[in-house]
Amino acid sequence: MSPRTITLLVVLTAAALASWYLARSNRPAEVDEAPYDTTHRGYYLKSARILGTGEDGSLLYEIEAAYAEQVAKNRIEFTDVRIRYSPGSAIPWTVNADEATLQEGAPTIALRGFVKILNSGATSAEDIEIRTQYLELDPENFIAETEERVQIRFGTRSVTATGMLASLNDDRIELKSNVRGKIVP
């Protein structure tokens, strides 16, 4: 081999090593984090419909919501909620709310926002409407309870109070305090 060939090989080897080093140093640093969060966030449903059953397995009530999302392992949040009892249960009450929370293991559904309970069944002489900002509903025991201000309207009559306990299967409402009413024949 001639000195010229040896020099050319040394220069080419140096150029190859230099280009490898520059390419390695210009490479973007490897990201330790994934581009998205790989943690399981739960599920979400649009136009959700959840069915609740009684002890015998028959349909007792249904929860319809515009949107439902599992926000924690044991908690589901609903928006634009309507809860109706099945026709077989003979409970004529319907519950509507802006938001609701269903907690695993808890018998109650917490309803928030504009909460309205409506009874328009054949057993009632007039429609009865209950309004409040917060309500806890135990759908399996037909109990609705709140410590907040409630307004109850039946026909042209109206009663307001602070706190209420309603037994939906007995059509019985117990007002707790600060009861005021307007009863006109």
What one-character-per-residue DSSP string does 28-70 give?
PPPPSS-SS--S----EEEEEEEEEE-TTSSEEEEEEEEEEEE
Closest CA to 86 of 5, 44, 140, 24: 140
- Phi/psi for 31 (5° steps) reads -80, 130
> With contact defined as beta carbons under 8 Å apart, do 150 and 163 qualify?
yes
Lowest mean pLDDT among 23-32, 71-80, 84-93: 23-32
pLDDT digits (tens, 9 = 90+) for 114-162: 999 998 765 555 688 999 999 999 998 999 999 999 999 987 889 999 9
- Topology, domain 44-182: lipopolysaccharide transport protein A fold (2.60.450)
pLDDT band at 107 (very low <50, low <70, confident <90, very high): confident
16 phi, psi to nearest 5 deg:
-65, -45
| CA separation for the pair 180, 116 (Å, rounded) | 19
Domain boundary assignment for the chain: 44-182
